[in-house]
Amino acid sequence: MASFQSIMKKYPSLLVILLNFQTLLALYEDQVGKFDWKRSFIGKVKYAHFDASRIIVGTEENIIASLNMKNGNILWRQLMENPKEQQLMLLHSDRDLLSVSGTMNNWFVRTWDHQTGTLLSEWTIFSDKNIPSVFTVEKGTLLHIFPTQNSHLDVVTYNLDGNNQKNTIKIPAPWITDISNCVLSKSYYICISKNDISGQLYYVNILSEKPKVYIKTLHSVLGDTPDLIEILPFEDIFPAFLLSSNGQAKVIHVDEDVVNTKIFKVMPNAVSNHNGEKPFIYQLEPASNPDKLVQIRVKDYATCQDEMATELEYPVGLGAPIIIATATKNTLTDVLLSTTDNAFMLVRLSDGKIMWTREEALSNIIAVEFFELPVSELDASIENEFKASSNSILSMLSHRLNTQAKQLSTLIFGEHPMSSSGLVRDAFGLHKLIVVATSVGKLFAIDTLSGSIVWSYRLPNVKPFSILGEDKILLFAQRTARYAPLPAQCILIANDKYSGNGVIFQFDPITGYSQKGIEKLNYQIAQAIHLPYEDDQHLKPVLMISSTNEVYLYPSCAMGEVYKYTSKLYTYLVDNTGSFKGYSFIHSTKDKLKMTPSWELQLQPAKLVAVKTKHPNERVHSQGRVLPDRSVYYKYVNPNLIAVATVSDDPVHKHVLSVYLIDGVTGLILYATSHKRSRGPIHLVHSENWIVYSYFNERFRRTEFAAAELYEGHVQSNSSVFSSFAVSLLPHVQTQSYILPATPLSVTVTLTERGITNKFLLAGLSGGGVIEIPWLLLQPRLNDIPCSPEESCIPYMPEIPLPSEAVINYNQTIGRIDGIEVAPARLESTSHILVHGIDLFYTKVAPSKTFDMLKEDFDHMMIILVLTGLVISSYLTKYLASKKALKQMWK
Amino acid sequence: MLCYLSAFLVISLNVQKSYSSNIEYDGSVTIRLQHALVASEDPVFTDRGNVTVHSLRLGQATINQRPLSPDEQLQLRDLAAKNHFYQLKSIVTANDGSQKTFLSTVKACMLAESELDDRLSVSIDYMGRVIAVTSIIASKSTCEGAVVSLEKLKHFTTSVYVRHTEPGPIPDTASYIQKLEREREAKEKGEVKDNRSFLAKYWMYIVPLVIIMVVSSATNPDAQQGSQ
């Protein structure tokens, strides 16, 4: 009895613990990497150095890293400050690795260990001059040069031998006309005064005792050239630069008064290599062989004669390359190339073989769409049989015999892969294809199972839209792979880099094949809407609104279908100034869609920071919340609801955050709230009948989460149809707020196919973890209703607990999380998650656990044995019992 | 229908009451209402009336609207019969003389069916600036065109609701700390007294025991019979 009592004492606390932790999922050690994968990137490479069997790189993402020369894998990687504010200015490889990164007047100088990437030392440079400056390392000193136009050069030297002794010199330089006409090579600062032959060449050795400015005419250096002259840097062991004109360049060496022009002409992308026995110059040029794209020409450094030209096995999809670095070891020469689409590759000469390629475009993903895979050929043929397309008896018979023969052959010989890629739909929709668009305009399709790239497509001259300060490209799934034999179809909408007009690109997301290629539009896009109606080809049309409020439909043949719905079609346009306008399409005609303004909001002088609608595929399973007294509190589920957040500057409260819930059809503000002394970054999540937003509270200096939930009340006004025009009751709003003891970078909510599963919020934190927060923890508690574990309600806690078991990426830190994308699997319990930032992380989450799936360690053998055992034993006992009964009868 | 309307009213009034003293500076606004009674891409707005909100804080308003002329009544009936939109333009003049124009749209048939009983929702931000003026009809369902007799389409009975921006929730740390404090004190005082009866406490042990006893007593006589 004593033991019973002790259990009794523990029982209530046990219940609480169970209730609190039932929603948490953690991974077992042997499950690591089973449902998830991570790919790490470094960004577009800016600087590269060879170092033994490693490559040290510095990138435009303000990252330095070391790559394995054999396969391009990252050995170590160090993320420095946010690249939007700070940029890498210098990467110098000596005994230690030296990096300088910073803003216009604030820099970090850091030294790193080559081997491990450990930070050895760090000090800062500050300057009050607001002009662009350059850094270089020469003879053990760090030179920091500020060129002031038409005036002088300020040079600050720092000794790098430990005491960082500072020394400032000023060199009068009224000849600096334009900074783009100047280069720094070793300790020489070299400028040209004009971009044609009448210009002068000025150069000065900064490190000499008494800096003397040398002046030469360009004519004396180059001879006669009628073309435009440009000055370009040239990596060499002597002070050198390139003077380029008409696509050809000359290498010029300077040494005090001597200007030595190399008589040969090179391409402007040439580099020199002094590692080998004999120095060479390498340059890239278009291949002479029409089958190949690029060749590397090698020239003798001394004699300037062509040594050889190697054609590269250059893949078709990549952009134009430039040489970043070269190195020679024994007889092999390695060349590192960086392309316009941010790829980075190692080419080994002399055979021109590409050893490896890193697709660094993936470090900057701006649009993601998940696609279901097509059914296998056999399944498709069975499905076709039931379609009304074949109507004669004979053809149906032959079709039936054909498919059955195929079925038989697969039964005997096993399933043969439908296509070479083997991308076939599985039963639970767990195998999908992720199509991502990157900021350089390159598309990738990634397999969710392996994380490998299935196809990629480079869209030249494409620029993302800037929506509320974020770069965005739009991807819409017009047709999924469900409608075999019609292929899946996806559309990408972006801007043209030069004209600023819209471009659309229609493609098959499974194969990457595009029938039409890039289509340029002759208008700018202000808004694009993916309509929920299908035309006879099962295509969901996309409506595009130009900046002059003209409406276009893609494909335009869907006009007839869309016209039927114009009385129910509404849209809104937002601009950064705070004007928010709603439009209807009521005055459209059969051949032209027309927008008519229907409502207007004026949020000025507040600045819009976030606009969120619900996910179009979201379903609300439960119409209400059951209260402890068995009554139902009905949810206010308005599909037209738009959540808007604005931040305004205020003289008293510094910043005021306002959040509005607006009906998109009537423009009625259903709920408005304001947080004083609160500012961004704002992360807004909108789902079902609730919103959650995070903001920074300036008063308490912490990040807070606020949740607002809308209810209709105890009676549902109209259970069959919802209309925004029929406002019988304003929704009741329940709110609550919480402290988040972390800094979120991106917040989203899980999405499942039927909406039965509980909702989890996924927050990407600045530390690199993605944490799942059950919506139950954030759901506003009703005031007058008790909240206890018996009511399946977690009592209010002002601080959101962040247990480490709730980190879905366990110890796999994701660098600089940009966004979290969610897609439902066909299994109700599961959502696909793709987290993107510098790294790419994919996993599956099951907020209510995998209630619709057997555990993977489920013992099938055991259950079969138990069942057969039970059947046998029941027959056995029946036999024995009858035997016993017979015996008893005889007694 | 009426009961819903009154429900709406009650809720709106409640809402008003609870937010009434949130804005920092009280002010008054005048709203000039214009409407378009002919469906067109470029609607022509004619005057409908004026609304003066004397105090944004209290939400009191004077409404001055002229009755519709027979021509306008016909136009409105036509609009309702064809299931077009009735558009309302509100020109808001604030205390400082600044003007803002808002547009709002309702279904004409709903306006006609409600016999020109509409509600004007004037939303203001935390500073008391008007951010939206929206016309709504209190109804449970929409219509797809309706013919309403002309005499019912004469006088607008408009109610104006000034809707404030609620102050956002703040994390309630004080009461949570109090709660923890209370729990700690209770713990210090000793075990929490369990007031439930013996049966309520231990039913989960008693029930299986009883079942086992019942089952065993049910089988025992058989066994005894068998042994006999």
DSSP secondary structure letters along A239-272: SEEEEEETTEEEEEEEETTEEEEEEEEE-TT-EE
Would you state the pLDDT for residue A387? Answer: 61
Q: Whats the size of chain B, residue-wise?
A: 228
3-class secondary-structure state, position B160: strand
Choosing among B125, B141, B176, B201, which should be mutated to test the A contact, i.e. which has the most A CBs within 10 A? Answer: B125
Among A235-239, A574-578, B129-133, top mean pLDDT goes to: B129-133
Judged against a pLDDT cut of 60, whether residue A179 lies above it is answered with: yes
Of the pLDDT bands very low, low, confident and very high (cuts 50, 70, 90), residue B22 is low
Pairing of β A151-159 and β A74-79: unpaired
Would you state the pLDDT for residue B227? Answer: 45
Average pLDDT over residues A528-555: 88
A vs B: CB pairs below 8 A: 158
Nearest-CB residue to A601 (from B4, B131, B164): B131
3-class secondary-structure state, position B38: coil
Q: How far is A566 from chain B (nearest CA, A)?
A: 13
Contacts of residue A629, Cβ cutoff 8 Å, sequence gap at least 6: none
Contact assignment for B121 to A729 by CB distance below 8 Å: no
Distances (CA, A) of A567 to A538, B83, B85, B144: 22, 10, 10, 11
Average pLDDT over residues B18-36: 74
Could you read off the pLDDT of B61-112 as tens digits, one per residue? 889 888 888 888 888 888 888 888 999 999 999 888 888 999 999 988 888 8
Residues of chain A contacting residue B163, judged by C-beta atoms under 8 Å apart: 669, 672
Among A537, A529, A440, smallest CA distance to A479 is for A537
Which token pair is A627?
């209260």
Average pLDDT, chain B: 81
Judged against a pLDDT cut of 80, whether residue A163 lies above it is answered with: no
Chain A, 648-677: which have a CB under 8 Å from a chain B CB? 650, 656-660, 666-669, 671-676
Chain A, 7-26: which have a CB under 8 Å from a chain B CB? 8
Chain B, 169-208: which have a CB under 8 Å from a chain A CB? 169-173, 176, 201-202, 205
- Chain B contact for A554 (CB, 8 A cutoff): no
Would you state the pLDDT for residue A3? Answer: 39
Distances (CA, A) of B207 to A7, A724, B204, B213, B219: 17, 55, 6, 10, 18
Would you state the pLDDT for residue A187? Answer: 85
Contact assessment for residue A358 and residue A48, using Cβ atoms and an 8 Å cutoff = no
Would you state the pLDDT for residue B16? Answer: 40
CA pair distance A400, A406, nearest whole angstrom: 10
- Cα three-residue angle A377-A378-A383, rounded to 5 degrees: 95
Contact assessment for residue A527 and residue A467, using Cβ atoms and an 8 Å cutoff = no
Judged against a pLDDT cut of 80, whether residue B220 lies above it is answered with: no
Average pLDDT, chain A: 85
Share of chain B above pLDDT 70, in %: 83
Contact assessment for residue A46 and residue A61, using Cβ atoms and an 8 Å cutoff = no
Nearest-CB residue to B173 (from A718, A725, A798): A798
Here the contacts of A151-157 (C-beta below 8 Å, separation 24 or greater) are A151/A176, A153/A189, A153/A204, A153/A206, A154/A129, A155/A206, A156/A125, A156/A127, A157/A207
Would you state the pLDDT for residue A646? Answer: 92
Would you state the pLDDT for residue A139? Answer: 82
Share of chain A above pLDDT 90, in %: 34
Residue A258 amino acid letter: V
Could you read off the pLDDT of A769-789 as tens digits, one per residue? 999 999 989 999 888 788 777
Average pLDDT over residues A95-102: 90
- Chain B contact for A799 (CB, 8 A cutoff): yes
CA pair distance A516, A719, nearest whole angstrom: 46
Hunting for tokens 């909408």 — which residue is that?
A493
Q: Which residues pair with A122 in a beta bridge?
A: A110
Contact assessment for residue A787 and residue A794, using Cβ atoms and an 8 Å cutoff = yes
Which token pair is B188?
């210090």
Would you state the pLDDT for residue A275? Answer: 74
Nearest-CB residue to B126 (from A656, A704, A796): A656
In chain A, what's the furthest Cα-to-Cα distance? Answer: 134
Judged against a pLDDT cut of 50, whether residue A13 lies above it is answered with: no
Chain A, 684-723: which have a CB under 8 Å from a chain B CB? 704, 706, 717-718, 721, 723
Residues of chain B contacting residue A666, judged by C-beta atoms under 8 Å apart: 104-106, 134, 136
CA pair distance A61, A839, nearest whole angstrom: 12
Judged against a pLDDT cut of 80, whether residue B6 lies above it is answered with: no
Which token pair is A405?
């023969």
Choosing among B2, B103, B110, which should be mutated to test the A contact, i.e. which has the most A CBs within 10 A? Answer: B103
Would you state the pLDDT for residue B92? Answer: 92
Would you state the pLDDT for residue A12? Answer: 42
In chain B, the residue whose alpha carbon lies closest to the alpha carbon of A657 is: B168
Contact assignment for B105 to A678 by CB distance below 8 Å: no
Residues of chain A contacting residue B168, judged by C-beta atoms under 8 Å apart: 657, 659, 673-675, 678, 706, 735, 737
Phi first, then psi: give them for residue B17, nearest 5 degrees: -60, -45
Chain B, 122-161: which have a CB under 8 Å from a chain A CB? 123, 125-127, 130-132, 134, 136-142
Would you state the pLDDT for residue A107? Answer: 92
DSSP A680-707: EEEEEEEETTEEEEEEEETTTTEEEEEE
Average pLDDT over residues A704-723: 87
CA pair distance B14, A548, nearest whole angstrom: 43
CA pair distance A294, A272, nearest whole angstrom: 19
Measured in whole angstroms, the distance separating CA A668 from the mean position of its chain's CA atoms is: 35
Share of chain A above pLDDT 70, in %: 94
Contact assignment for A586 to B140 by CB distance below 8 Å: no
Contact assignment for A738 to B105 by CB distance below 8 Å: no
In chain A, the residue whose alpha carbon lies closest to the alpha carbon of B43 is: A596
Of the pLDDT bands very low, low, confident and very high (cuts 50, 70, 90), residue A697 is very high
Of the pLDDT bands very low, low, confident and very high (cuts 50, 70, 90), residue A394 is confident
Contact assignment for A798 to B107 by CB distance below 8 Å: no
Residues of chain B contacting residue A801, judged by C-beta atoms under 8 Å apart: none
Would you state the pLDDT for residue A428? Answer: 82
Q: Which residues pair with A544 in a beta bridge?
A: A528, A552
Contact assignment for A601 to B132 by CB distance below 8 Å: yes
Q: How far is A864 from chain B (nearest CA, A)?
A: 30
In chain B, the residue whose alpha carbon lies closest to the alpha carbon of A729 is: B8
Judged against a pLDDT cut of 50, whether residue A730 lies above it is answered with: yes
Would you state the pLDDT for residue A14? Answer: 38
- Chain B contact for A74 (CB, 8 A cutoff): no
Among B99, B116, B102, B213, smallest CA distance to B157 is for B116
Judged against a pLDDT cut of 50, whether residue A2 lies above it is answered with: no
Among A542, A683, A712, smallest CA distance to A620 is for A712
Q: Where are the alpha helices (DSSP H) in B68-197?
A: 70-81, 108-113, 173-189
Nearest-CB residue to A729 (from B7, B103, B165): B7
Q: Where are the alpha helices (DSSP H) in A386-429?
A: 393-413
* ipTM of the modeled complex: 0.79
Residues of chain B contacting residue A568, judged by C-beta atoms under 8 Å apart: none
Contact assignment for B103 to A598 by CB distance below 8 Å: yes
Could you read off the pLDDT of A479-527 as tens digits, one per residue? 888 887 788 899 999 999 898 899 999 999 988 888 888 899 999 998 8
H/E stretch holding A4 reads helix A2-21
Judged against a pLDDT cut of 70, whether residue A816 lies above it is answered with: yes
Contact assignment for A676 to B167 by CB distance below 8 Å: yes
Could you read off the pLDDT of A405-422 as tens digits, one per residue? 877 887 777 655 444 456
Of the pLDDT bands very low, low, confident and very high (cuts 50, 70, 90), residue A852 is confident
Q: How far is A502 from chain B (nearest CA, A)?
A: 26
- Chain B contact for A586 (CB, 8 A cutoff): yes
Distances (CA, A) of A330 to A12, A170, A277, A309, A850: 74, 45, 9, 19, 57
In chain A, the residue whose alpha carbon lies closest to the alpha carbon of B227 is: A888
Contact assignment for B15 to A730 by CB distance below 8 Å: yes
Contact assignment for A659 to B168 by CB distance below 8 Å: yes
Judged against a pLDDT cut of 50, whether residue A15 lies above it is answered with: no
Contact assignment for B166 to A658 by CB distance below 8 Å: no
Would you state the pLDDT for residue A391? Answer: 67
In chain A, the residue whose alpha carbon lies closest to the alpha carbon of B132 is: A601
Choosing among A579, A580, A602, which should be mutated to test the B contact, i.e. which has the most B CBs within 10 A? Answer: A602
Measured in whole angstroms, the distance separating CA A292 from the mean position of its chain's CA atoms is: 32
Lowest-pLDDT choice from A12-16, A238-242, B57-61: A12-16
Of the pLDDT bands very low, low, confident and very high (cuts 50, 70, 90), residue A884 is very high
Contact assignment for B172 to A796 by CB distance below 8 Å: yes
Contact assignment for B137 to A4 by CB distance below 8 Å: no
Q: How far is B66 from chain A (nearest CA, A)?
A: 24
Residues of chain B contacting residue A586, judged by C-beta atoms under 8 Å apart: 39, 84-85
Could you read off the pLDDT of A423-449 as tens digits, one per residue? 788 878 888 999 999 999 999 999 998
Could you read off the pLDDT of A113-143 as tens digits, one per residue? 988 999 998 989 888 888 888 898 888 888 8
